[in-house]
Every structure is written in C-alpha cells, then in structure tokens.
Structure 1
Amino acid sequence: MSEGRVINLNFRHALPAPLLYVGFVDYYGPLDMRSHSAHRHGHYQFFAVTEGRFLFVPESGREIWLDEGDVIVFRPGLLHNWHVEPDAVCRTFMVFFDAIPDGVFGELGQRLAQDAAVGHRTFAISLLGAAPMLAALRAECEQSKPMSNAVVYGLTMAFMAFAVRQSAPGAAAEPVGGFASPLAAALEFIESNYAAAISVRNIADQAGVSPTRLTELFRAHIGTSPMRYLNNHRIDKAKVLLLYSPFRVAEVARQTGFRSPHYFNRAFRTATGITPGEFRAGKFNRVKGKGE
C-alpha cells in the first residue's frame, strides 16, 4: 500500500468578482495531515466535503467535524486550523470570494456572511442535488475549454446559492436552476451501477429520457458524454481500491466495471497519464491536469 497523497485540481484562469479561487482538493491516505499552523485568509471561504470527513478547528478551539455533504463558510481573518483523517479518502470543493454587495444575487451575499460574530456557519446539503454542478465544475477544472471562466463562474455561484437554499428549514433536496431531475437520476444510477456492464441506453431508461436527450443533458451541464463521465467515475473508484485494497490490478478492473485488465490499464493511463501500478506506487506527480 502506497503513501498518502494530496491532489489539487484548481481552475487556473481569472474569474469575475467576487470569485477569487475555485478548486477541488482530494486527500488519499494513509496520511496524518494538518495545516502547518493556525492561519487566516483575507477573504471569505466556502468549503464543502463531497466524500469522507474533515476536521475544522476555529480560534475558539471547538472541533467541528464536517461529514460528506457538509458545508462551512467562514469570514475573512478567522484564525483556524484543519485536519484530515488518516487512512481515509476525503474529497473537498472550495471557493475563495470577496464580500458580495447587498442586492447582488438576491440575498446570497447576506446569507453567506451570516454569523459574522462567530466567524463561521455550517450546514448540510444534498449531494445528489449538487452532483451535476460538481461534476461539471470538475470537468471544467480538468480541461479548460472556450469560455470556461464564464461557465465556472456561473456554476460556482449556482452551487453556493443551492447550498444556501438547502440550509433553509424544510428545504427540498432538489437540484437548482436548469439541472433537471433526469440528469440527477442518471448520476444516481451510475453511482449505484458503475461496476456493471451498463450502456447509454440503460442510463437513459433509468433517467426517463432518450439516449440522444441524455447525451444533450450531459454535454450541456457536465461538459462531457455519459460514457466518458461513467469511465471517469470508474477511474475514481479504482484509485481508492488501488490505494486501500489488497486486490490485484485485474480484480480492481473487474470491480470497477472494466471488461479487461488491458482495457483498464489503457483507460487509466489515458485519464491520468500513469498506469494503475504507478498510481499504486505513489507516482502522483505525473497525473495529468493536477498540480500541487
């Protein structure tokens, strides 16, 4: 079993105000990782845990564990530290942003800045409802496309608005804006069945749309085709098995839906730039599209 690694996937182009930074950070144990020391940021931070657990410790010293689906927003200047559980996978999404003026984006700025006296607020969201936005954001960060900054800006603001809506008492766990329920149903089906031999037709049937319409939805909202999304999802699941299981590469391939070790090896190299064996050995510095 290899050493733990941290993979940063940042959007590397300028974004309009108030956004300053948008990116994903994936932590793969075994590691015992904390920030080097208590520190502050000069901007607001929006931080969501999409898998695993993350410990946030504000200046009060009270430990705040964030589980999958939890979000924390904290004000500029808040002294804090953080910790990732050892021997685990933790995936996160974060945004740094300046204050949003009153009246811009409705109540979003006011709601994100609530509890300024305490310095932070936490709430839970539906990851099923957020999945289309997060998948589309990750795709834009992985491969820059024409007008990516406009797409990332819109998706990020929509995701933060979705999270704030979800924090309201009695909020329904539904996607926001144009993210129709067929797309959410398709993503849920892929999550539950990625290890099986599923086709675009299978996914479309579960989503209640035609294969052509499903492909249109994926390309419009996630920026890729259903099968490419499925393939990337399988690669992500394979990474976890390569790091944490004793299975041989052939068994990892089988458990993540690849029809042969040869095809798995080729798909993994195409997606990451390295072989499954190299990934297991910890050679992350060559992973395409990701940098420290």
Structure 2
Amino acid sequence: MPVSADRLPETAAPPPGLVVVGRYDQPEGYGVTRPRGAGSWLFTWTTGGRGRLRQGAAEARAGRGDLVVLAPGVRHEYAVQPGAGGWQFWWVHCQARPSWAPWLRPYGTGDGLFAVTPTPAALHERIAAAFGRMLADARWTGSGSPPATAPEDRVAVAHGTVARELALSALEEIVLLTAAAARPAAPPPGIDARVLRAAELIAADPGAPHTVRSLADSVALSPSRFAHLFTRQHGRSPMRALREARLGHAARLLESTDLSVDRVAAASGFASPFHFNRVFRERFGVPPGAYRAGGPMVEP
C-alpha cells in the first residue's frame, strides 16, 4: 500500500509549531513517498519488524531500538523492509529544537538523514515510556492533570503551547538518551575501557557508597585485578580517586548551595562530619565553613 504524500500538504508538512505523534503497526507493502520532503522533521523509533528509510541519496535500515531522523526539505521515502513481514514504529513530526543539532550530527549519513543506532536494550523501556508520555501530553488542554496514558493506536496533535513544550521535552529526552548511548566514546589510548567505566561511575555519583568491590563488580573484574588496573592507569588507588571526587563534589556544594556543612558531608559520601572537616582542610587549606566564606586557598 504505497502512498505518495506529494499532494497531501497537511500530512507531508504539519504547520510550524505543531507536534504530531503516533504509533504505527504496518504490514508488508506499506510505504510513504514525499517527493518534496516535509516541512518538518520526522523522528522514527522502531519497536519491532524492520523499516527502510531514504532521504535524498542516503539510506538507513531500521530495526528494534533504532532512532532514524529525517530533516525537512529533502525528498524522502520510508517503507516496510521487504521480507520483514511488518514494521512497528513511533513517529513524530515537529520542528526540532536547535540544541539537538550537536547530538544528532555525529549520526548524520548525508542529505539530512541521521541514524542513531544501536541503542542499548537497557534503555528501550524508558524510551518507549517517553513516547507514550508524549502521546498523552500532546492531548493536554492545560487544565486539570495531563492524561496519564493514551491509546497507542491514536495520533495526537499538540496544539496548545504547554502541550507542545511537554511533547518536545519528552522527545528531547529520547534524543539525549539515544545519542549519548548509541555510540560510546572510545577510551583514550592505553586506558582500559573497564577502568574508564568505573571512573565514570565515580564522577557521576561520588556520594554513592562505592567500594573497591562494588566498582569491580560493575565492570566484571575481581577486586584485586580492578584495583591494580585502576592504580596503574590513574596513578592512584580507586579509593583515593573516590575521595578526591567526593571532596570536589563537596566544594561545589559549598559554593553553590546553602546546605549545612554536615549535610554537605553526607551528600558527598562522608559518614563522619569530623573526618570530612579534617580531609577537606588537608585538601583545600581551609575548613569547609571558611571555604564557603572566602573561596579556596588551593585550586581543586
């Protein structure tokens, strides 16, 4: 059932400012061709089956967990991939926020087609929930509470300002999650990817109850092997790196919040305020209260 949208401007190019979202379950033979492209961006997220998307001379095959994005103004077509039996996918027509461009750019394949793939399976549930929330929020009138859910066989058009911004915020979450996770940065030369991952866990949440064993478990290494690799590659032990990260986190909290020193200590992973005061003074040259009042004596 191929369709040409060239004569359907309301389908091919939703008016600027609108957000149109839906979920399709299409059988073999389904396809859409837009000879003039669309006036809006098209985002597709495949949940099952397989699709084939073309934009100008660029082409992408979409399987489960693939986000494929088509920029406006270029001839495009998309269809169920022959032999796949069907294609299940979420789709959104909208004007993309300019801030999304740096996240999508690394996945560009030419002619305004961006294939953000592969997205780890661990994120699929959260991304699907964001699409469902978008479908519900697009129907909100601005009074009462937004709908908790919406039937997935519906197509929603976000007319109101608040509904549009809520829908775009959900789509922004999807763009960030997929673009950040689909193509992890390669570790620097000489750095073990498992050690890099542990360092990222420390930096992301220094106040968490990390231990050598918990960090080693997170990267599938024995504690002794992990500690050896980490110390060799970072020049300090995992626990020393953790203490430095916690002190840096505490310094930022002192600079940017009015939390009490005891609460800063607890939020930074220090069980004892006395111990926190002592190691903070050793690191920065002044106790936490004086640091807050006058700034650091020693650069972090």
Please confirm whether the aligned pair reaches a TM-score higher than 0.5, indicating the same fold.
no
Q: Work out which of the two has the higher radius of gyration on C-alpha atoms and give 1 or 2.
A: 2
TM-score normalised by length of structure 2: 0.41
Using the size of structure 1 for normalisation, the TM-score is 0.42
With a CA cutoff of 8 Å and minimum separation of 6, indicate the structure with the bigger relative contact order: 1
